[in-house]
Structure 1
Amino acid sequence: MSVLLEFSMFPTSDDCRNGSSVSAQVSKIIDAIDKSGVSYQLTPMGTVVETDTMKEALAIIELAYEQLSDCERVYSSLKFDIRKNTKNRLKTKIASIENVLNREVNH
């Protein structure tokens, strides 16, 4: 099974922000994900991780929140794409689109 989880998480309270920037706090989350060994891709608007189970995906959310647990208020948005009998969709979904685009350009 492949669980793709796209999420964003950041503090909204002044106690954990540097003006309007939350990059220091988001960096803590990305560092923790990187150290966890889970496959991930950072995007300008969030992070996509791929796990084998929903339990592992939810553990990543808990890990991310732990990095901000000292903040008064935290915002988070989550999206899941769960598919059985497949893996490595962080790369294969993109490759599939690039393959279609390449065929269209070459025809």
Structure 2
Amino acid sequence: MSVLLDLSIFPVDRGAGVSGFVAPVIAMIRDSGHDYRLSPMGTIVETDTLAEALALMERAYTILDALGCERVYATAKLDIRKGQGGGWRGRLSRCASISGRSPAEPRPPGATCRGSQS
């Protein structure tokens, strides 16, 4: 089984700068040993089971709770697939081969999501 978790979690009662609260959550994900990738709006983590993904979400909340956060906002998307792993890396690799560019390479000005010019 492969579970992709796209998680965004942060306190909403600590002002505009929340990086000091998010950093320990990212460290926990890094130290979990699961494959992950940061994005500006959240973190994608690949686990082997749904239980592992849900446990990461609970640990993330526990970290913010221990830091005194009274109100926490979270969004989570799950892609649960039986069978093979390698989910997000495989998807990026397939997209790169189809589009002819690296997944990290920015789109040229005026390009649509499919890579064509508008």
The interval holding the TM-score normalised by the smaller chain is: 0.7 to 0.9
CA RMSD of aligned residues (A): 1.5
Q: Distance in 2 between matches of 1:88 and 1:72?
A: 36
Match of 1:95 in 2: 93
Structure-1 residue corresponding to 2:70:
72
**What TM-score comes out, normalization by structure 2 length?**
0.80
Residue 29 of structure 2 aligns with which residue? 33
- Aligned residue for 1:9? 9
Consecutive unaligned residues in structure 2, runs of 5 or more: 102-114
Q: Structure 2: how far apart are the matches of 1:3 and 1:82?
A: 5
Q: What amino acid is aligned across from residue 88 of structure 2 in structure 1?
A: L
The number of residues matched between the two structures is 100
Query: Which structure carries more relative contact order (alpha carbon 8 Å, separation 6+)?
Result: 1
Tell me the distance in 1 between the aligned counterparts of 2:94 and 2:34: 22
| Aligned equivalent of 1:83 | 81
Structure 1 consecutive aligned stretches of length 4 or more whose deviation exceeds 3 Å: none
Unaligned runs of 5+ in 1: none
Alignment of 1:35-74 (within 5 A): 35-69=31-65, 70-74=68-72
How much does 1:90 deviate?
2.2
Greater fraction helix: 1
- TM-superposition CA deviations, 1:58-87 (whole Å, max 9, x none): 010011111101211000001011111110
Taking structure 1 as the reference length, the TM-score comes to 0.88
1:81-107 superposed Cα distances (whole Å, 9 cap, x missing partner): 11111101121010010011129x9xx
- Over the matched positions of the two proteins, sequence identity in percent amounts to 47
SS of the equivalent of 2:92 reads helix
